[in-house]
């Protein structure tokens, strides 16, 4: 309701796996690792803890920022699939990675090649596909076009003859020549001679019906990284006097209170751990915006400047990871206040919003950017900006529970001991590219 979106499939899958692991552990179906070999099988306590797995995920602000994985006890493998050219064609060579920033033309049969540049005296030019591409490209009839400084001056007639005329910079150029379609060769004569530095180009279509083996191919290769879970443990105890007071005067058992306290601390710690790592590994580059309104600047112009700073981050994130722009902002307390000053046309505050001492959701900025506040961020005037792509793994961070909070037996500690086995680390391929900083600086 507050976020106006459903939980992500990976979040639900991770919660399901964590609950499944707990049931297997406590029913003796499998032997847990390390400290979890001694988990208590009290059904009432177990069910109470299991019932909190999904609510904890949903209340964490970092659930919107991370990729959740179904956690195994010993290790989990994180995969990334990439595309690459499996043949030489057009502008790509075999083995070139085809990702967001690949340049060139690969699947198009319509290709462009240079015929050279004019020098004021040369009239004859030639194109040989075998020389240019190290393979013969059969040419499709009626698709060969000659350009001079991007102006068309001639084309083939489908029967092996080049002809035409065109005006460039008030000069008329006449074209003649021949096309050997099967051999991928073109001879061109241009009169008068193109002037110095004039750019000559040829457009053509590769006739793949004549040579189907030329159809470009795409291959896929898989990269993987092994992730290892981390242990979480905390112990709760009390003095005899405290136990007596709770029972006699308040009618409350210490075990129940201790379990609730330990569970809440672990849950809050989880969010803080994720944020701590993202603060730590966020790239040093940032966008800086002067947050103090200068004299002579109208409120409307001031708000537009804020929006521009946010959009600058949006642009940098997209260029950095190639998948997604800005998805959300975790603002320090002072930076959050600046956003909260904005009118409702810019910031849609979450229903029933109240400022609180924990990291929390504030609302939606500019219609699509989730705004969170971290009251204890390292810099109250700084913002941690993050991107989240549409596909699995397209985030800065990876998280998931192999074993959610459970009580376990300890031979050397008194009181209630609770622990988790959880994955929490930066996305191992390009996680840092999904983070960026926005700093608010006062007017100098």
d(CA 421, CA 433): 27
Q: Would you tell me the crossing angle of helices 43-50 and 9-26 to the nearest 10 degrees? A: 170
Query: What's residue 240's pLDDT?
Result: 46
Residue 49 in contact with residue 11, Cβ under 8 Å? no
- If pLDDT is split at 50, 70 and 90, which confidence band does 40 have? low
- Looking at the domain assignment, is residue 101 inside a domain? no
d(CA 328, CA 436): 11
Asked whether residue 410 falls in the same domain as residue 267, the answer is yes
Asked whether residue 249 falls in the same domain as residue 395, the answer is yes
Query: What's residue 444's pLDDT?
Result: 45
371 Cβ contact partners less than 8 Å away, ≥ 6 residues apart:
328, 329, 331, 336, 339, 347, 361, 362, 363, 364, 365
Q: Kindly report, residue by residue over 156-201, the tens digit of the pLDDT.
A: 999 999 999 999 999 999 999 999 999 999 999 999 999 999 999 9
DSSP 356: -
Q: Kindly report, residue by residue over 249-288, the tens digit of the pLDDT.
A: 555 555 566 667 777 888 888 999 999 999 999 998 888 8
- Looking at the domain assignment, is residue 126 inside a domain? yes
E strand or H helix that includes residue 415 = none
- Looking at the domain assignment, is residue 141 inside a domain? yes
Mode of pairing for the β-strands spanning 435-441 and 286-290: parallel
> What percent of the chain clears pLDDT 70, i.e. is strictly above it?
89
- If pLDDT is split at 50, 70 and 90, which confidence band does 24 have? confident
Average of per-residue pLDDT values in the chain: 87
- Looking at the domain assignment, is residue 204 inside a domain? yes
Residue 246 in contact with residue 254, Cβ under 8 Å? yes
d(CA 242, CA 40): 25
Token output for 47: 């069910």
d(CA 246, CA 257): 10
Asked whether residue 120 falls in the same domain as residue 69, the answer is no
Burial 170-204 (b: 16+ CB within 10 A, else e): eeebebbbebebeebbbebebeeebbeebebbbeb
Using alpha carbons, list the distances in angstroms from residue 123 to 111, 181, 224, 397: 23, 22, 56, 61
Domain final residue, candidates 185, 215, 245: 215
d(CA 324, CA 431): 12
Burial 100-134 (b: 16+ CB within 10 A, else e): eeeeeebeebebebebeebeeeeeebebbbeeebe
Of 83-97, 207-221, 233-247, 355-369, least confident by mean pLDDT is: 233-247
Report phi then psi at 144, rounded to 5: -90, 120
Residue 173 in contact with residue 153, Cβ under 8 Å? yes
Asked whether residue 352 falls in the same domain as residue 428, the answer is yes
The answer on pLDDT for 213 being more than 90 is yes
* CATH code of the domain containing 204: 2.60.320
Query: What's residue 300's pLDDT?
Result: 83
Query: What's residue 383's pLDDT?
Result: 95
Asked whether residue 211 falls in the same domain as residue 232, the answer is no
d(CA 292, CA 59): 33
- Looking at the domain assignment, is residue 220 inside a domain? no
- If pLDDT is split at 50, 70 and 90, which confidence band does 244 have? very low
Burial 315-344 (b: 16+ CB within 10 A, else e): ebbeebbebbbbbbbbbbeebbbbbbebee
Strands (E), 297-396: 326-332, 347-349, 360-365, 369-374, 382-387
Asked whether residue 51 falls in the same domain as residue 115, the answer is no
- Looking at the domain assignment, is residue 99 inside a domain? no
Asked whether residue 38 falls in the same domain as residue 142, the answer is no
DSSP string, 256-271: HHHHHHHHHHHHHHHH
Mean pLDDT calculated for residue range 226-250: 68
Domain count for the chain = 2
Q: Kindly report, residue by residue over 390-430, the tens digit of the pLDDT.
A: 988 999 999 999 988 877 665 555 667 778 899 999 999 99
Asked whether residue 300 falls in the same domain as residue 160, the answer is no
- Looking at the domain assignment, is residue 103 inside a domain? no
E strand or H helix that includes residue 301 = helix 299-321
Using alpha carbons, list the distances in angstroms from residue 258 to 48, 234, 243, 386, 410: 14, 11, 11, 36, 16
**pLDDT: is 45 or 268 the higher one?**
268
Q: Kindly report, residue by residue over 307-349, the tens digit of the pLDDT.
A: 999 999 999 999 999 899 999 999 999 999 999 989 999 999 9
Q: Kindly report, residue by residue over 112-160, the tens digit of the pLDDT.
A: 999 999 999 999 999 999 999 999 999 999 999 999 999 999 999 999 9
Residue 274 in contact with residue 65, Cβ under 8 Å? yes
Q: How many helices (H) and strands (E) does the chain have?
A: 8, 22
Domain final residue, candidates 189, 215, 241: 215
Asked whether residue 274 falls in the same domain as residue 370, the answer is yes
Query: What's residue 38's pLDDT?
Result: 58
Asked whether residue 260 falls in the same domain as residue 385, the answer is yes
Domain final residue, candidates 164, 187, 215: 215
- Looking at the domain assignment, is residue 96 inside a domain? no
Pick the most confident of 37-46, 93-102, 181-190, 229-238. Answer: 181-190
Query: What's residue 437's pLDDT?
Result: 95
Q: Indicate the pTM of the whole model.
A: 0.80
Asked whether residue 313 falls in the same domain as residue 429, the answer is yes
Of 4-8, 169-173, 264-268, 366-370, least confident by mean pLDDT is: 4-8
Asked whether residue 162 falls in the same domain as residue 255, the answer is no
Query: What's residue 396's pLDDT?
Result: 97
Residue 124, domain extent:
108-215
Pick the closest to residue 45 from 403, 401, 404, 407 (CA basis).
Answer: 407
Q: In what order do the strands lie in the sheet with 66-68?
A: 66-68, 397-407, 416-426, 230-236
């Amino acid at each position: 309701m507050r976020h106006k979106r459903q939980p992500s499939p990976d979040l639900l899958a991770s919660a399901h796996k964590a609950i499944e692991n707990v049931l297997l552990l406590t029913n003796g179906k499998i032997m847990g690792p390390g400290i979890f070999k001694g988990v208590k099988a009290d059904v009432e306590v177990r069910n109470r803890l299991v019932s909190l797995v999904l609510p904890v995920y949903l209340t964490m602000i970092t659930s919107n920022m991370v990729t959740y994985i179904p956690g195994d006890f010993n290790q989990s493998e994180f995969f990334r699939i990439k595309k690459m050219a499996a043949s030489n064609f057009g502008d790509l060579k075999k083995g070139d990675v085809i990702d967001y920033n690949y340049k060139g033309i690969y699947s198009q049969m319509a290709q462009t090649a240079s015929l050279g540049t004019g020098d004021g005296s040369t009239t004859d030019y030639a194109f040989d596909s075998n020389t240019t591409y190290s393979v013969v490209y059969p040419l499709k009839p009626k698709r060969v076009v000659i350009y001079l400084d991007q102006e068309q001056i001639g084309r083939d007639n489908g029967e092996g003859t080049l002809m035409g005329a065109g005006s460039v910079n008030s000069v008329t150029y006449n074209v003649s020549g021949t096309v050997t379609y099967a051999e991928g060769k073109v001879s061109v004569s241009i009169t008068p001679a193109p002037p110095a530095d004039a750019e000559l180009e040829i457009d053509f279509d590769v006739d793949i019906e004549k040579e189907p083996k030329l159809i470009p191919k795409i291959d896929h290769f898989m990269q993987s990284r092994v992730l290892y879970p981390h242990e979480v443990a905390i112990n709760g105890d009390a003095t005899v006097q405290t136990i007596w007071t709770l029972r006699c005067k308040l009618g409350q058992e210490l075990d129940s209170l201790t379990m609730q306290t330990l569970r809440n601390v672990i849950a809050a710690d989880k969010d803080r751990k994720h944020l701590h790592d993202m603060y730590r590994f966020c790239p040093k580059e940032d966008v800086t915006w002067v947050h103090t309104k200068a004299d002579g600047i109208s409120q409307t112009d001031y708000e537009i400047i804020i929006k521009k700073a946010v959009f600058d981050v949006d642009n940098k994130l997209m260029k950095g990871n190639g998948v997604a722009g800005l998805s959300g902002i975790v603002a320090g307390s002072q930076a959050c206040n600046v956003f909260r000053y904005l009118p409702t046309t810019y910031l849609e505050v979450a229903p029933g919003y109240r400022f609180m001492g924990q990291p929390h959701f504030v609302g939606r900025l500019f219609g699509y950017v989730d705004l969170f506040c971290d009251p204890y961020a390292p810099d109250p005037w700084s913002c941690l900006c993050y991107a989240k792509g549409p596909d699995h793994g397209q985030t800065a961070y990876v998280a998931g529970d192999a074993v959610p909070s459970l009580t376990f037996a300890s031979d050397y500690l008194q009181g209630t001991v609770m622990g988790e086995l959880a994955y929490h680390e930066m996305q191992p391929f390009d996680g840092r590219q999904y983070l960026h900083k926005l700093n608010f600086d006062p007017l100098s």
